[in-house]
Every structure is written in C-alpha cells, then in structure tokens.
Amino acid sequence: MKKDHRAAGGPGGDGLENDDAALEKHVADALVRRGELLPTTEAEVLAAERDGVEHEGELPPGLRSLGDRPSSTGRRRASDAPRSVRDVHVHGAASQRVVSLDEVRRRRAERRSGWASHAGTFVLGAAAAAALLLVTRDVRSPHVPDDRPAGGPTASATSSSAPPTARIAVPAVQECAGTCCAGSRCAAAKGELRRCASGRTCLSCDEGAAVKSAFRVRVGDLVPAKGLPADAMPRLDVCARIAGGAWSCAPARAETTDGEAGRVLPGVVTAADLAGGIELELRARGTTQVVGRWRDAVRVGPNVLCQGAGALLADEKDGTKKDLGSLAIELAPAHWVELARAADTAPLRALRGRLDLADVDPVLVETMGPGDQRFALAVGPIDADVAERLRWALLDRGVDARVVLGADHRGAPRKLPAPTPAP
Amino acid sequence: MAPPDPRSPSLDAATDADLLARIAARAEDPAGARAAQAALYERHVRYLYGAILRQRSSLLRVVGISAEDLVQETFHRAFDRAHTFQRGEEGDPDRDRARTRAWLGRIATNLLADHAGGPREVAATPYVERVSCAGIDEEQPPSQSPRARLVAEGLDSLSEREADVLRVSALHFRAGEEHQRLPNAVSAELAARWETTSENIRAIRMRAMKKLRAFLASRGATAEEAS
C-alpha cells in the first residue's frame, strides 16, 4: 500500500485518509478489469487476451504500417478517424446470424404462452411488437453514464436568460417533412414500418440524416432457443460492446419488472461506431466464460431506427452451430434540448407555463451542475434532427436553447403539467 | 548488403527481447534496427490497438487523443526506450509475449497521463520517463481479485463526471503518481472540460470515493484489503 505523503488540507492536497490509497489501487484494478485502463502486468495481459482484446478486423489505414511519429501540436479532441459504413443490412441480408425481429417476436410470444415449438407461425401485430421492446422514452436509469460520441454534436447557445413574459407558441417539430419511410406520421410508411416499436413517429428515408445523431443502445432480454434450457437463464449474463469498446454485462433476463426492460449500454454511440460492430456474448454469470456469441455491423437506417435489430446468439464449435437465443437491439434517441437552467425549479416552471409547444413536452431535470445550473427545463430524449428543429423554433422566438447529450443529467426527469390555456 | 526482411526467419524466431536489443543498438546497425521495429510492430499492433480501443469512450475522450495516435506514439516511445526493457525468464512464449505487451501498456498509460494535463511538447513527458518493468511479472492479476470485481460493480453507481475523475485519477496512480491525487494541471484540464472549478473536481473525486466506500460497506467489505 502506498503511503499517503500529503498533509491533510495542504496546498493541492485533498485531505484524504490513508484508506484511500488502498481504494485507489482497487479502483485502478477494477478499471483494468473493465477494459478502461490498459493491462500493465503479464497476468493482466493474459487475462485481457482471454477476453478477446486483440483487434480482429482490418486495421485503420494509419496503423497498417509503422508510420511517422504523430505530431504533438494540433492534437485532435476526442475524435478518431471516421469509419466507412459497411454495407451490411441488418434484416436478413448479408449476415445469416442476424435474425429478423419477426423471429424474435415469435419466439418471445411462444415462450410467454408456454408453447414448446419454435416453429410456430404466430405473427404479432404492431402493438404487441412494440410492447415486446418495452420502450419507455421518458424514464432513464440514473446510473447510466452518458458519453459524448467521437465527433458528436456540440451545445449551441447557453441558457439561463430571463424568460420572456408573454406566451410563446412553438409550432410542431415532429411532423414529417420531406421523404419519409417509417413512423405513424409518415403517410408513405408500409407494413410494420407504419408503427415503430421504438416510438419514433417519422423517419426519413435518407440514411445520411442518421449520421448526425447519437443513440443509446438498449439490449432486450434474451429469448432462449431450443438449444438453451429454460433453467439455464438465471445463470447467464448477456454482455455487449460496441466498436471494440469496454464490455458491459447484465443478467440475460431482467430480474425486476419495474422500470425499463432490457439494458441500456453505457454511453452514446454514433452510426460510425455501430458500423464498427456490435458484439454480444452469452456468458456464465459473473465470469468471462463464453457460451455463445453474435457479432455484426449495424447500418443505421429507417428500418433499424423504427423496429430495431435482432441478434441470434449461437455456440459455434468444430464447424457446428447451435442456436442459443435471440434478443432485440434498439437504438434509442439521446439528444436533449435545454431551454434554461436555474438554482431551483420555480423559474423553470414559470417558463414552462409561458410556452405553448405543439408536440413536445418539456420536463424538469436535475443536473450535477453547481448552484444556478442545478435544474434544467429540457425536452428529450429525441433524435438530432428533431432537436435541431426544436432548437431553431425556440431561438426564432427569443427562447434560448441548446442541444446537449445530457451528460450531467441525473435521476429520472419530472413531468410538468400542461400550462393553462391562454385567455 | 540488403537490409534484413522483417519477415525473415531470423526475425521470426527472435524473441521480443532480442528485437528490442536490436532496436536499442540502432546506432551500430540502423537497418537491422528498422527491421526489428517493423517485426515488433507487426507482432503487437493488433493487441495494443484493441486494448486502446476499449477506452475510446472513456479515457481517450477525456484526454483528447485518438486511438491511432496513441498506438503510433506508444511504439515510437517503446523504440526510444528499448534499452530499458528487462528480459524475463524466457522459455514460455505466452509470458514473453505478455511481458512485452504489459510494457507497451505501461508506456501507453504513462503517455495518457502526460497528455491528460493538456497539450505539451512531445519531449516533455515526465510520466513516460518513469516507465519500468518493476512488478511486471506479478503472478495474480489484481484486476481479477474479488475486491476488484466488487469495486467494478460500485463504479457503475457513479455519475459520468465522478467516473471520469476517478478514471483520470487511477490513470495517474498507475503511471506512478506518488500522492494519489490529481496534479493541478490535470485538475484544471478536467475543470475546463466540465466547465467547473478545480476545487469542484477535487470535491467530485472525494464524493466518488465516498460513494464507493459506502457501496463496499453495504456489501460487507472495506477498502482495506488484507495484504
């Protein structure tokens, strides 16, 4: 244990007890375990190798050979080289391991109704399908940390100006403009794209629109296949990681029935991250023993944003493949539009009372900001394009607004009552 | 005489320690050193890139360096410091490989610690100068201990800022920062990033440590582990 040489309360010192030295070491060890610090001993390296740390895909162009020493000036801030989007469609195209969501829903329905056969032809309607993903757009775990994605959106104008006194009408920002492919407000949507399990009401056909967005990835409960006995479920974890990042694990089936179903992975991701691949592993609970895998790139487009993606985890050994189960992956919106911040909620409630917003509802959010930044009036989480429309609609009407990822939001937001109609 | 092919059998059969010895002797044999550099790079770049990529949503974002830059800079620093690498007990290829990778991990960790204090000249990297092989062959990975697993669970209960501050703090701990506190320049950098003050960064760190202690206590554990 390292001795604490600092005088308590001395210059630059934190006044910590010796106990912190031991805890600090354990924190560092825990971060290595999570892949958030690099292994620095032989044993840690061997453990990381067993965990599959080695990069398996193609190296980026800058690393295919030993290049010149990187420049020390003009250092980039939090942005890796952009990846190219791999041309892999999620729904039943290039990858045989990607199962269609109809398949996921059928299996889930069969399990819930106690049917033994997975070959059933039961087809769910859109309403039941939406229920299976159990999307709750306005409840967020307080323990899910936010992460700004590489090259992601940045905040615009700051808030906290004195709110106007007159009522301000803000037009609808979620109506379908331009060419749309999916969502309940999209007249051109067909079939299962007419109602999105994700709750989105209008999705552009233009995949480029999604490139500007950040998302939270939600991984649903595992629906076991025949190859997996039902009593094995309590002993299994589903672990996920994106673009070779740190693994995040949770029970294969959620153990509580309140709150959101499935797991929201830490941080936010971009389309480029998803093109780098999502990996799922089914592991013996609390261990790194892998019993099944799935890995694929996810191309973000209207289909995936509407209905999510399905993954079929399998155990492949000696050339044979045994399906173990399937689960749904949802890309949830991650952007917030903040209208104002204040030290307490009263001025924010007053501001809310003066806004007539056609199709969005601001909420109160507690933040980790100091003093007069502690509470925020915000709309979200929403996709980047809606956030930008709302931001400009507010700015055009003299209301400060900025788009954020909610990195310092904490706890569940609080809904506000609708304002009384103007006389 | 033509320079040795990096894929020549003599280089293939050479241990990492031998390659690093050739690199260290570049003044006498520049071509041989370059071939050895290329061979060492080919052996370990995928591992190092994969390990560093795991941090792209955490430490790399906070420190503000790309994974590719960190990989390249790590290898260049490794070649500069090839003379400091200490051979282990050779004969076990897995351990030989792991030893080199652990050493590269130390260099990359210390580079991150150097970068965390804000942009600076490449030459001024005091943490990298501290890299050594001391303790590199510890038998039991502490990251696999039950205590580390429990603390890993506790980290999930922290806010993003608390987790960021502890990551950077742990980075410096691993880089050999004696006083287990954030250097003033690093506190200032984090404060600027989070639009707060250095004092608040220290308060965040204290709060995070307090939360972890409470978490451990709730599980019937304490921060002190029997040595």
Tens digit of each residue's pLDDT (9 = 90 or more) over A316-343: 877 777 889 988 899 999 999 999 999 9
pLDDT in tens, B32-58: 999 999 999 999 999 999 999 887 767
Given a cut of 90, is residue B177 above it in pLDDT? no
Q: Give the mean model confidence (pLDDT) for residues B112-140.
A: 66
Rounded to two decimals, what is the model's pTM? 0.46
Given a cut of 60, is residue A390 above it in pLDDT? yes
Least-confidence region, from A13-17, A218-222, B102-106:
A13-17
Structure tokens at A251: 């029970």
Most confident of B19-28, B49-58, B211-220: B19-28
- Residue with the larger pLDDT of the pair B118 and B129: B129
Residues written for chain A: 423
**In A, which residues are within 8 Å of B46 by CB distance?**
54-56, 59
Q: Which residue of B has its CA nearest to A16?
A: B206
Q: What is the reported pLDDT for A317?
A: 77
Least-confidence region, from A3-7, A247-251, A326-330, B115-119:
A3-7
Residue A330 half-sphere exposure, CB side, CA atoms within 13 Å?
29
Say which residue the tokens 């050779």 belong to.
Answer: B90
Q: State CA B190 to chain mean position distance.
A: 19
d(CA B1, nearest CA chain A) in Å: 23
Q: Which residue of B has its CA nearest to A2?
A: B178
Q: Give the mean model confidence (pLDDT) for residues A34-49.
A: 90
Q: Say how many C-beta atoms besides its own lie within 10 A of residue B189's C-beta.
A: 23
Q: Angle A19-33/B198-218 helices, nearest 10 degrees?
A: 80
Is beta strand A375-382 parallel, antiparallel or unpaired with respect to A335-342?
Answer: antiparallel
Residue A5 to residue B179, Cβ atoms within 8 A: yes
**In A, which residues are within 8 Å of B53 by CB distance?**
55, 243-245
Give CA separation, B133 vs A41, A84, B95, in Å.
9, 39, 14
Alpha carbons A271 and A309: distance in angstroms, whole number: 14
Q: What is the reported pLDDT for B113?
A: 85
Given a cut of 90, is residue B106 above it in pLDDT? yes
Alpha carbons A192 and A190: distance in angstroms, whole number: 6
Say which residue the tokens 């989007």 belong to.
Answer: A85
Give CA separation, A389 vs A362, A379, A403, B152, in Å.
15, 12, 10, 40
Structure tokens at B163: 């987790």
pLDDT in tens, A147-203: 333 333 333 333 444 445 678 999 888 878 678 888 888 888 888 888 888 888 888
Residue B98 to residue A45, Cβ atoms within 8 A: yes
Residue B180 to residue A2, Cβ atoms within 8 A: yes
Given a cut of 60, is residue A285 above it in pLDDT? yes
Confidence of residue A213 (pLDDT cuts 50, 70, 90): confident
Residue A66 to residue B59, Cβ atoms within 8 A: no
Given a cut of 90, is residue B126 above it in pLDDT? no
Indicate whether this complex's ipTM tops 0.95. Answer: no
Q: What is the reported pLDDT for B9?
A: 56
Residue B142 to residue A54, Cβ atoms within 8 A: no
Q: What is the reported pLDDT for A394?
A: 93
The three-point CA angle A393-A397-A398 to 5° equals 120
Q: What is the reported pLDDT for A62?
A: 84
Residue B102 to residue A39, Cβ atoms within 8 A: yes
Given a cut of 90, is residue B225 above it in pLDDT? no
As a whole-number percent, the residues of chain A with pLDDT over 70 amount to 69
Least-confidence region, from A223-227, A277-281, B54-58:
B54-58
Q: What is the reported pLDDT for A421?
A: 67
d(CA B191, nearest CA chain A) in Å: 12
Q: Give the mean model confidence (pLDDT) for residues A255-274.
A: 70
